[in-house]
Chain A
Amino acid sequence: DIQMTQSPSSVSASVGDRVTITCRASQGINTWLAWYQQKPGKAPKLLIYAASSLQSGVPSRFSGSGSGTDFTLSINSLQPEDFATYYCQQGDSFPRTFGQGTKVEIK
């Protein structure tokens, strides 16, 4: 099974900050990597697919990069509505696996 490891597990930031979250796969997954945002009491929402493609309707302050085993989600100019938990997920093979999540909190 492919293990997905996110860091940090939580980050405190202020509105306007740039936040970077990393996700590492235990083996190469090409660019079969997605990022989701989850707010309390809500279902996850797809932000980024294929490591760097922005899902329709997602603000351009979100961006993704990486390939192989190392990936990054960046949020430029953090907005109040961006405080949430973010998960990476590999789509290379079954079992589908998610990272443990990164909670972005208000400083």
Chain B
Amino acid sequence: ELQLVESGGGLVQPGGSLRLSCAAFGFTFDSYAMSWVRQAPGKGLEWVSSISGSGVTTYYADSVKGRFTISRDNSKNTLFLQMNSLRADDTALYYCARWGDYYDSYIEWGQGTLVTVSS
């Protein structure tokens, strides 16, 4: 069954770090680019970062550049987001999503993991 399962969210103090994971099931993981998209409480969707299938190419939103690092382990079908120097405005539900090149869109989403940055 096609599935993306995020984990690693939680409560962290400003300036702290957190590492999110996204386990992928049911498809050839290294054939697909993957992304993180976040949604602050009551707000819209915000793209955070993307990584190519090989892991060689990465992209970041300006709001997280220099603080977040996206990576993947294709041998374990897992996507990661290392988040450092966290701020209150990073508080959000973080989704991992699979990009479909043919569709030029996010064809599958996980259920999200909540990150709360607060003292």
Identify which of B18-26, B84-92, B106-114 touches chain A: B106-114
> In the complex, which residues of chain B have a beta carbon less than 8 angstroms from the beta carbon of A101?
44-45
How far, in whole Å, are A44 and B111 apart by their CA atoms in the complex? 9
Tally of chain B residues near chain A (CB < 8 A): 20
Residue of B50, B59, B61, B106 near A34 (CB, 8 A) is: B106
> In the complex, which residues of chain B have a beta carbon less than 8 angstroms from the beta carbon of A46?
103, 105-107
Residue of A43, A91, A94, A95 near B95 (CB, 8 A) is: A43
Q: Is the CB of B35 within 8 A of A43?
A: no
Least Cβ–Cβ distance between A20 and chain B, in angstroms: 20
Residue of B44, B50, B109, B111 near A100 (CB, 8 A) is: B44
Asked, given contacts A43-B95, A43-B112, whether A87 binds B107 with beta carbons under 8 Å apart, the answer is: no
How far, in whole Å, are A87 and B106 apart by their CA atoms in the complex? 12
Taking beta carbons and an 8 Å cutoff, which residues of B are in contact with A?
A: 35, 44-47, 50, 59, 61-62, 95, 100, 103-107, 109-112
Q: Give me 18 other A-B pairs in contact (C-beta within 8 A), A38-B45, A94-B50 excluded.
A: A34-B103, A43-B95, A43-B111, A43-B112, A44-B45, A44-B106, A45-B109, A46-B103, A46-B107, A49-B105, A87-B45, A89-B106, A94-B59, A96-B35, A96-B50, A98-B44, A98-B45, A98-B46
